[in-house]
Structure 1
Amino acid sequence: MGSHRLLDYLKQHFGYSSFREGQQEIIEDVLEGKDVLGILPTGVGKSLCFQLPSLLQKGTTIVVSPLISLMVDQVKQLKAKGFKSVVALNSFMELKERKAVFQSLHNYRLIYLSPEMLQNRTIIHELKKLYVELFVIDEAHCISQWGHEFRTDYLKLSQVVKEFGDPTILALSATATPEVQEDIKCQLKKLDMVSHIYRMDKSNMSFAVEDVLWHQEKVERIKSIVSNKPAPTMIYFSSRKAAEQVAAELTLSLDQRIAFYHGGMETMDRLLVQQQFMKDELDVICCTSAFGMGVNKPNIRRVIHYHFPTQIESFIQEIGRAGRDGKPCASLVLHTPNDQVLPQRLLEKELPQEEDVERLLRWLAHKNELLIDEEMTEILQLAESQWNFLKYHLEYHHVVSNRMIQRHPDLIGLRAKISKRLKERWLYKNNKYKQMVNWIHCSGCRRKQLYAPFQNEISRPIVTCCDYCGFSIDDLEIYEERVSSVDTIENWQDRLRALFLQETTNDET
């Protein structure tokens, strides 16, 4: 398809007159049936790379997405633009609603679901009735970042692709080192994927790390920053309890709208908080890493890390939510001498210990069937991610299938294989952690050191680069946004024209 024709479709379906960096090249390869790995900076619009092809191709596009809130948000945005042929299948759908969707699956061009849903044989059975033309893994770094322990169903996606007749694969991410890029290709069993890799650093972002003595000093510093220059702000925590406590203290001290968000909340409560923040009904959100992936809010000005994450990739993903409108934004890490205790504890919970492996194998020696996951974690005294790691390797080595123990294994040989992989993952995760700590304590330009593992060069910043180069979070320029009534009317008129045009186009196709 010619570039002029693609631009016509872009304008017709999405109202844009030009593509952003990388979008057109990726879309052209996908439409030619090539498997593609696309690494694009946050805010560029990765979703367009599969949303536009889904409208132009005859078959169905399946999108594997890591979070329900991310699926719901993207589906809602598409429906607001007039696209009716899109749906998100998730575990919170009522049985009646799910049956209705299954009966009309052939009417959907774009189907969102999680990797876990793709292990449901009923869902696979229904999807195999369709002609799946494009298989998309959104936030593909999750394959490498989460797949080996926390969400091992990511490592089974290559099997699902085969069941769908080997459709074209598109893997998209904003943060993937060359090592992670190769792991994505390896796990998908597509080593010859076409790679479109672009710089991921943001020229409008400044970086700073501030050392304080204790945690209460962090709270007081946040109060000062947020009250002096109010602006949409995200504050990241590694502890749910701390996120709630700091949100409560900020609410008492500041005349601003503040909420917390973490994975322990009810799903509807999480969705409500996310929508409030998206609609500028909240000023500050105190959140864990459960919040933010795929959040397309243009005017976030600050991302503050009350706790730092266990790896650079997570940090870049989280700060990437700021400044999507191209205006100045900033990242601030508040650091105390004791801050390394919490991430070390989190790392210990992600992977099992050698004694956990031995305890599992002793249990297996006298059983014919695994219990449900909740009972296994309780009996073996394991965290969810620790059990997921072990269960995956039992399946990988063909010891277990559908919870049934296929044969009593060579326990010594199996223990050696699992222990070898366990040591590799411990080394990998500890190296990632050290990389993050080294960045916090670096004595040179923070921008250069942060992105060095990902790319050879960095963009020339349009703002003061970092604290090493003279930046302070107090220097961040906050521009008040004003929309004239004339602009509002014109935007509504454009939106109505686009909606009517889309209705006509969808009816014709």
Structure 2
Amino acid sequence: MSTALQQGLQRFYGYERFRTGQEEILESVMQNRHTLGVLPTGTGKSVCYQLPAFMRGGQVIVVSPLLSLMEDQVKQLRARGFKRVAALNSFLGFEEKQQILRKLQHYDLLYVSPEMLQNEFVIQRLQQLHIQLFVVDEAHCISQWGQEFRTDYLRLAEVIRTLDNPPVLALTGTATPEVQADIQHLLGDLEMDEHIYPMDRENIAYFVREVQDQQEKNETMLALLKKIQEPAIIYFSSRTMAESTAAIIRANLPELACAYYHGGMENEDRILIQQQFLAGQLQVICCTSAFGMGVDKEDVRLIIHYHLPSDKESFIQEVGRAGRDGGESVSVVLYSPGDWQIPVHLIEQDLPEKVSIQQLLRFLYQRVKAGHTELPAYELLIQHIPISETQWRFLLYQMEKHDIVKGNHLQYGAKAWKDFLDSIEKFVEGRRKHKLVQLQRMKEWVYTGTCRRQALFADFQHEVSQAKGRCCDNCGDTLTDWQASSAKTQPNRTGWREQLQHLLYQ
């Protein structure tokens, strides 16, 4: 098997050897075993499902969390000559979706959003295929996002059963033992080969800068950008702050091409920003967590967290976007007193309040008693109940799980509704406490006096590799004389053949 995989790697990618963990995961996949793979961010997880798609018959279905990530990977593969690949998501118009669905059997590799897998017609078409592998990319999102943000992740187990239980590959860059167990449980209690590798990256150094207010935070950020002058990503908890800070950077450092990116932008604008950053036309991105997952840019040298991350998993994922080429890179958290209140507020926003749950159930139950069993549209609902669309999706999933909702209809039965109310209030409170504990661990990391690398990865692995170069501020390292190990990013100067190829694959 290893010889065939080595030949495949050389033929399709031009590489002589696998990176850590890739070959072991691939051997499990090629034996049609359910597999969980945890590899550090930036170490080539996509090879673990792309190679089987290229090497053998049948379709590989890849569930991916971000639409821009799908589009980027499809474009990259087509540019390299792999034409039998497509993405099925809400970016596409009706005719484009229909065209892909009509030609599904012609694709070896199909990227699809978890929401699209709730479409009955899509499932019917997938059932007609020979699915050799069902992949859940960025699988930590099942545990982190699925519980309340994107509940369609929690329906993947049912999708897998409907598709006649194909071999499943779950891949992620960060997962505590608790999250690893959560992933396997939420995918249907699968018995999975586990290939878990250390998540720390020896070439990333960690620094925390405590500042007193936003003005000092901006001054520190600008000084870092001016000094390093390399590709950088700055993460924010607020869309508004991402936009306004991008304007501050452009005004103070006009030599650095800077843009903002968040989930409130038009799809086309987000794709454009991402492509410009990948091409080296932008050096600095001010963004929310919507940016960066799976973005394959090797020479990012600086990750700044303008706001405190809500948990270590997210932080590790975001920092992992730096130094994918092995060059020395830096993570800087800018922290001011009171910053921890921002993620607390976001946690409260994600989960519905007890009063809102009671009001919602009272409103829906009155409709059922009056004979209106069909689920109301969200637009009608918010005229009566102050609840966000995310909170509504979360509660709707829970009602389906407890048989309060079947299909598109509410079910009558006073005791069932009372039991559900008790159950959901306990569940929401448990989720809230869980998130606050994760935030507290992040806050403790910010204030730790021990090695930051050791403290960051202690929950994930037994040993942490020694840093190559600088380690962290608590180990006595500074950024005073730090110079990026890569050359300055230059604009692409491609020949006419490359330019023509790029145009043809748009």
Q: Please indicate the TM-score interval, normalised by the length of the shorter structure.
A: over 0.9
Instruction: Determine the C-alpha separation between the residues in 1 that align with 2:12 and 2:228.
Output: 38
Identity %: 46
Q: CA deviation at 1:102?
A: 1.5
**Which residue is equivalent to 2:504?**
none
**Which residue is equivalent to 2:434?**
428
Q: CA deviation at 1:340?
A: 1.6
**Which residue is equivalent to 1:247?**
246
| SS of corresponding position for 1:473 | coil
Is the CA contact 1:399–1:409 (under 8 Å) kept in the aligned structure 2?
A: no
Q: CA deviation at 1:379?
A: 3.0
**Which residue is equivalent to 1:192?**
191
**Which residue is equivalent to 1:502?**
none
Q: CA deviation at 1:309?
A: 1.6
Unaligned 5+ runs, structure 2: 368-372, 502-506
**Which residue is equivalent to 2:376?**
371
**Which residue is equivalent to 1:148?**
147
Is the CA contact 1:150–1:384 (under 8 Å) kept in the aligned structure 2?
A: no
1:325-404 aligned at under 5 Å gives the runs: 325-367=325-367, 368-404=373-409
| SS of corresponding position for 1:343 | helix
Instruction: Determine the C-alpha separation between the residues in 2 that align with 1:378 and 1:354.
Output: 19
Cα deviation 1:251-285 (Å, max 9, x = unaligned): 01112101011111111011100100011101111
Cα deviation 1:434-482 (Å, max 9, x = unaligned): 1111111111111011001101110111122100011223443213427
Instruction: Determine the C-alpha separation between the residues in 2 that align with 1:317 and 1:66.
Output: 14
**Which residue is equivalent to 1:300?**
300
Is the CA contact 1:225–1:474 (under 8 Å) kept in the aligned structure 2?
A: no
Residue 315 of structure 2 aligns with an amino acid whose one-letter code is F
Q: CA deviation at 1:407?
A: 2.7
1:408 aligns with 2:407: no
**Which residue is equivalent to 2:463?**
457
Instruction: Determine the C-alpha separation between the residues in 1 that align with 2:78 and 2:250.
Output: 35
Equivalent residue pairs, number: 489
Residue 216 of structure 1 aligns with an amino acid whose one-letter code is Q
**Which residue is equivalent to 2:483?**
477
**Which residue is equivalent to 1:171?**
170
Instruction: Determine the C-alpha separation between the residues in 1 that align with 2:97 and 2:147.
Output: 30
**Which residue is equivalent to 1:282?**
282
Runs of 4+ in 1 over 4 A off after TM superposition: none
Instruction: Determine the C-alpha separation between the residues in 2 that align with 1:100 and 1:302.
Output: 42
Instruction: Determine the C-alpha separation between the residues in 2 that align with 1:51 and 1:399.
Output: 41
Cα deviation 1:165-200 (Å, max 9, x = unaligned): 100000000010000000000001134211100000
**Which residue is equivalent to 1:311?**
311
Is the CA contact 2:236–2:305 (under 8 Å) kept in the aligned structure 1?
A: yes
Q: CA deviation at 1:139?
A: 0.2
Instruction: Determine the C-alpha separation between the residues in 1 that align with 2:128 and 2:286.
Output: 44
Is the CA contact 1:207–1:471 (under 8 Å) kept in the aligned structure 2?
A: no
Instruction: Determine the C-alpha separation between the residues in 2 that align with 1:468 and 1:83.
Output: 47
1:443 aligns with 2:442: no
Unaligned 5+ runs, structure 1: 497-509
Residue 433 of structure 1 aligns with an amino acid whose one-letter code is L
1:83 aligns with 2:85: no
Structure 1 residues 374, 331: closer, same or farther in 2, change over 3 A?
farther
Instruction: Determine the C-alpha separation between the residues in 2 that align with 1:399 and 1:180.
Output: 28
Structure 1 residues 112, 228: closer, same or farther in 2, change over 3 A?
same
1:228-247 aligned at under 5 Å gives the runs: 228-247=227-246
Instruction: Determine the C-alpha separation between the residues in 1 that align with 2:408 and 2:383.
Output: 16
Instruction: Determine the C-alpha separation between the residues in 1 that align with 2:486 and 2:131.
Output: 46
Shifted more, 240-249 versus 398-407: the winner is 398-407
Residue 359 of structure 1 aligns with an amino acid whose one-letter code is Q
Relative to the length of structure 2, the TM-score reads: 0.94
| SS of corresponding position for 2:366 | coil
Residue 384 of structure 1 aligns with an amino acid whose one-letter code is E
Q: CA deviation at 1:483?
A: 10
**Which residue is equivalent to 1:205?**
204
Q: CA deviation at 1:103?
A: 1.5
